[in-house]
């Protein structure tokens, strides 16, 4: 089991090596803002819907992202271009067919394709994109944690629920979205100034999801990958406003539900920082965990990721309570972490610190089978 999981992670590292500087070759022509008076959908995939927060925009099909999603047919690939602006809404995606959300980009992006969206040597900002989607829900007594998420990708409400304990909410006989992708969108749970509990940004359950050039800001347990869910984050910024729980929360599944499962959260070529809008009285230096296992088969991997001073030297933490240790069935790993918080010498013993030598013994297709829900053509 251990070798199988190490193989899986190293293969993901190999995927990172495929990328060079730039943005999405497939979508950048669609994403860039067009001259005034021209349709924003020029050079977009056929059938792309356009959402604008400007209610006077003559080209807009819808003014909210959720309205556009509700309008989609149950089958077939779909693409939604989101115009520049702020969108205060909770987004729920229950459709099983592929869906891509594109954040609009400045026209200057066409001239800077050779530059990273979030270069590691630039001053970080969690508001680097033209499109911001946010809400401000946090968990109150008797509420399920999932109800606080800004973005939920799950086949039903019951499938999105987290529940209590390592097993959590009852297993649902459902399959969620096969290929959800989001590009260049800032996702934020703005409950940070008053939240006293979990305040999720994403809940990905029974689904495959990937994010590119996005940012995420929250208070606690920012990324939640639920039962039978897998999430790939590439070239993203995670901005901590506080250090409750862990950056990645993963309920996942168990061997009874999915023998030999490889579900989990995988973060590649990204950056973890203290959010510039964090309360000045809220300490974060050396206080934030990379993750904690809500299930003893949790999988979380960080590859080529910059980590600022907020990361605790131990890296990961047990769930606590009746589960005071991280079992060896949990798979936490890092490869080539950098920055003040990227020092792995004091990490918990159960974590796997991967070496370049290990990476040479595996190839991408051997384990992953080149999954269609990851954009291997993405260039950053």
What's the pLDDT tens digit per position in 126-179? 557 899 999 887 776 777 776 788 999 999 888 777 766 666 777 788 889 989
pLDDT for position 192: 60
Residues belonging to the chain: 380
pTM given for the model? 0.85
Is pLDDT above 80 for 261?
Answer: no
- Looking at per-residue confidence, does 62 or 217 come out higher? 62
The strands making up 264-268's β-sheet, listed across from edge to edge, are 49-51, 78-82, 99-103, 180-183, 208-212, 230-234, 264-268, 299-303, 331-335, 352-353
Is pLDDT above 60 for 120?
Answer: no
């Amino acid at each position: 089991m251990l070798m199988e999981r190490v193989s899986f992670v190293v293969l993901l590292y190999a995927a990172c090596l495929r990328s060079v500087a730039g943005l999405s070759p497939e979508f950048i022509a669609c994403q860039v803002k067009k001259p005034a008076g021209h349709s924003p959908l020029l050079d977009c995939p056929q059938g792309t819907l356009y959402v604008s927060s400007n209610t006077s925009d003559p080209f807009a099909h819808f003014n909210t992202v959720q309205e556009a999603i509700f309008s989609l047919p149950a089958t077939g690939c779909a693409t939604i271009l989101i115009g520049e602006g702020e969108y205060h809404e909770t987004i729920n995606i229950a459709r099983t067919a592929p869906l891509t959300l594109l954040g609009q980009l400045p026209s200057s992006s066409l001239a800077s394709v050779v530059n990273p969206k979030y270069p590691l040597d630039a001053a970080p900002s969690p508001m680097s994109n033209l499109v911001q989607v946010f809400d401000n829900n946090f968990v109150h007594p008797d509420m399920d944690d999932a109800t606080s998420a800004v973005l939920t990708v799950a086949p039903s409400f019951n499938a999105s629920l987290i529940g209590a304990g390592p097993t959590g909410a009852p297993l649902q006989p459902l399959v969620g979205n096969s290929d959800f992708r989001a590009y260049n969108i800032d996702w934020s749970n703005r409950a940070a100034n008053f939240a006293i509990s979990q305040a999720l940004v994403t809940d990905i359950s029974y689904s495959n999801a990937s994010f590119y050039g996005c940012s995420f800001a929250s208070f606690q347990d920012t990324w939640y990958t639920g039962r039978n869910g897998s999430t790939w984050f590439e070239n993203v910024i995670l901005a901590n406003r506080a250090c409750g729980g862990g950056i990645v929360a993963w309920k996942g599944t168990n061997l009874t539900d999915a023998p030999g499962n490889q579900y989990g959260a995988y973060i590649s070529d990204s950056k973890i920082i203290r959010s510039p809008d964090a309360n000045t009285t809220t300490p974060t230096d050396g206080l934030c965990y990379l993750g904690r296992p809500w299930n003893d088969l949790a999988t979380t991997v960080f590859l080529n990721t910059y980590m600022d001073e907020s990361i605790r030297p131990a890296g990961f933490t047990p769930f606590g309570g009746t589960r005071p240790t991280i079992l060896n069935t949990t798979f936490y790993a890092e490869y080539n972490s950098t920055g003040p918080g990227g020092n792995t010498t004091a990490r918990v013993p159960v974590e796997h610190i991967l070496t370049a030598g290990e990476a040479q013994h595996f190839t991408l297709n051997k384990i992953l089978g080149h999954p269609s829900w990851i954009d291997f053509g993405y260039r950053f």
